[in-house]
Amino acid sequence: MGGLMYLLVLCLGIIMQINHCLSNSMIMKCLPRKHGALFIFGDSLFDNGNNNYINTTIGNQANYPPYGQTFFRYPSGRFSDGRMIPDFVAEYAKLPLLPPYLHPGHPEYIYGVNFASGGSGALSQTSQGSVIDLKTQLSYLKRVKNLFREKLGHEKTKELLSKSVYLFSVGSNDYGSLLDPNSGSLLPVDHQQFVDIVIGNLTNVIKEIYDLVEENLGCLIWVLLAAILA
């Protein structure tokens, strides 16, 4: 736990703000001199509202009371009565609350964005058709990169993504499926093989992010059961 806290503090240092202004014909923002964004991936521990905008079951959504009652005073889409870990990470890094990626307001994502989806896992088979799996969340990051390149250009986009923090909470729903008698169609393997498959999927996503930021990854934090069971 001490090592994780040290890593978290180190990563937050990457995205602390020292304001300066960046502008071009499409965007005008006062950004930190060493600005990095915060990108969130995962499940209900991190989802801040993406599941509000997909066709899913009520059990995979948090848009009704008592969710949100102690902080936002309304159901914000978070599976909590208040804020969640990514909200506090953003606060301590002096970033605003990040929007859910699927929010229809079309924010610029310059401070980051949340891709997480309650009920999702590293495997596409986990709650398939009802949630946004990790591979799809990764595709959203690729879209954000393309948006940055259009607005900021290649070099500024490369710099921004390489200094950013990538925060994960993935794996518990994959493993939980082993305890669900209705999920027998998932993967017919023994438990250790199942763990290896989950870890393998996570590893592939991390490698793709590494390639996406052109082999200059700023910081990556795993808050996930998969790492514990590996």
Question: Who's near 135: CB < 8 A, 6+ residues apart?
Answer: 124, 201, 205
Amino acid, res. 213:
V
Q: Is the pLDDT of residue 184 over 70?
A: no
DSSP string, 84-109: -HHHHHHHHTT-PPPPBTT-TT----
Which residues are CB-contacts of 163 (< 8 A; sequence separation ≥ 6)?
14, 15, 34, 35, 36, 218
pLDDT value for 101: 95
Give me 74's structure tokens: 């309304």
What's the average model confidence in pLDDT over 213-224?
62
Residue 146 reports pLDDT greater than 90:
yes
Contact status, residue 67 vs residue 74, Cβ threshold 8 Å: no
Confidence (pLDDT) at 11: 52
How far apart, in whole angstroms, are the C-alpha atoms of residue 225 and residue 212?
25
pLDDT score of 87: 92
Predicted local distance difference test score (pLDDT) of residue 230: 45
Three-state secondary structure call for residue 37: coil
Q: Is the pLDDT of residue 191 over 70?
A: yes
- Helix or strand (DSSP H, E) at 169: strand 165-169
pLDDT at 16: 45
85 DSSP 8-state letter: H
Structure tokens at 214: 């052109």
- The DSSP symbol for 100 reads B
- Which pair of structure tokens corresponds to residue 132? 């946004």
Asked if residue 24 has pLDDT above 50, the reply is no
Domains in the chain (CATH in brackets) are 17-52+85-229 (3.40.50)
Any idea which of 61-70, 118-127, 159-168, 183-192 has the lowest mean pLDDT? 183-192
Whether residue 2 is predicted with pLDDT greater than 50 in this model: the reply is no
Tokens of 154: 């290649």
For 45, 90, 105, 146, the CA distances from 70, given in Å and listed in that order, are: 17, 19, 25, 37
pLDDT per position as a tens digit, 172-182: 888 887 776 66
Mean pLDDT is lowest, of 4-18, 56-70, 199-213, for 4-18
Residue that is written with structure tokens 């995205």 in the block: 15
Instruction: For the chain, give the mean pLDDT.
Output: 78
Task: Determine what percent of the chain is predicted with pLDDT higher than 90.
Answer: 27
**Which of 54-58, 153-157, 181-185 has the least mean pLDDT?**
181-185
